[in-house]
Amino acid sequence: MRILRTPEERFAGLPDFPYEPRYAEVPDGLRMAYVEAGPADGEPVVLLHGEPSWSFLYRHVMPELAAAGLRAIAADLVGFGRSDKPADQADHSYARHVEWTRALLLDALGLSRFTVVGQDWGGLIGLRIAAEHPERVARIVAANTGLPSGDIPMPEVWHRFRDAVLKAPVLDIARLVQAGCRTELPEEVRAAYDAPFPDESYKAGPRVMPSLVPITPDDPAAPANRAAWQVLTTLERPFLVAFSDGDPITGGMAPILLKSISGTSGLRHPVIKGAGHFLQEDAGAELGRQIAAFVTST
């Protein structure tokens, strides 16, 4: 496996992101990065990002959790942020990303009774970890995400996105994030999303992730996701559905989650107003307050 590591100087001067990076070793000789906020003995809340962002996405969520006395932990998926980047697309698979993230959270950090928050690919990975290791998870938050098994067609807008990512001669990371936001991102924020990728050779992760989403019933990842659905539908863990009101990619998943998962019963599920796919950018503080209220009240 050819592994690239983004030079640390690329991350100098990040706006509103003063957190010191921490690192842990995971399988295949890879190093994963994460940042923390809040008291070290606070109840842990794990924040998992998706395509093509990194933990910087949660910079407005983390202070709200810390203010509520919670230990916010935002990880960078392998191939993203400060984490190591396998240079070949063939080295990325859904199963490997689940295992790498599981190893960080359960083995390296030794977390137990934590709340897992997933958006986009963070949900595809986080929901699998919750279903496969329910004894370690206290609560689940799904925010603009899902757990596709290839049995329900993906929306046409998602297919257009996947094709654009695969075929673009130059993958403009900041432009992809901006396209998923309702608000206009300042130049320094756009630069922060570009920071992990000095050139195209670092972008195997963002390039390949859309093609790893199971879209046919015979996809290699489909059986594991179906098994996870079986667990999640009856799992006795509080499950918050916190979607935005303006996400054409995953919006249709909210009613499916609410109908299918027993842990959603008896909870007030917020709709984050005025936000797009990246609701952490458009309404991060509001999302953080909703997560904090959910964790401290259940």
Crossing angle (nearest 10°) for helices 253-260 and 222-234: 50
Query: Would the pTM of this model clear 0.85, i.e. be above it?
Result: yes
- Residue 282 near residue 274, CB atoms below 8 Å: yes
Active site residue 219: no
Instruction: Name the β-bridge partners of 85.
Output: 4
**Annotation says 269 is catalytic:** no
| 76, 84, 91, 247: the active-site residue | 247
Catalytic residue among 120, 133, 194, 218: 120
Q: How far apart are CA 222 and CA 294, in angstroms?
A: 30
Chain segment 200-222, per-residue pLDDT in tens: 999 999 999 999 999 999 999 99
- Angstrom distances, CA of residue 168 to CA of 57, 121, 192, 244, 261: 23, 20, 21, 28, 37
* Interval 73-124: pLDDT, tens: 999 999 999 999 999 999 999 999 999 999 999 999 999 999 999 999 999 9
| Across 94-98, 140-144, 245-249, least confident range | 245-249
* DSSP run (H or E) holding 32: strand 30-37
Q: What is the pLDDT of residues 143-191, one digit of tens each?
A: 999 999 988 888 888 888 888 888 889 999 999 999 999 999 999 999 9
**159 belongs to the catalytic site:** no
In this structure, the dihedral spanned by the alpha carbons of residues 198, 195, 147 and 282, taken in order and rounded to 10 degrees, is: -150
Residue 65: φ, ψ to 5°: -70, -40
Catalytic residue chosen out of the listed positions 49, 76, 277, 282: 277
pLDDT digits (tens, 9 = 90+) for 36-71: 999 999 999 999 999 999 999 999 999 999 999 999
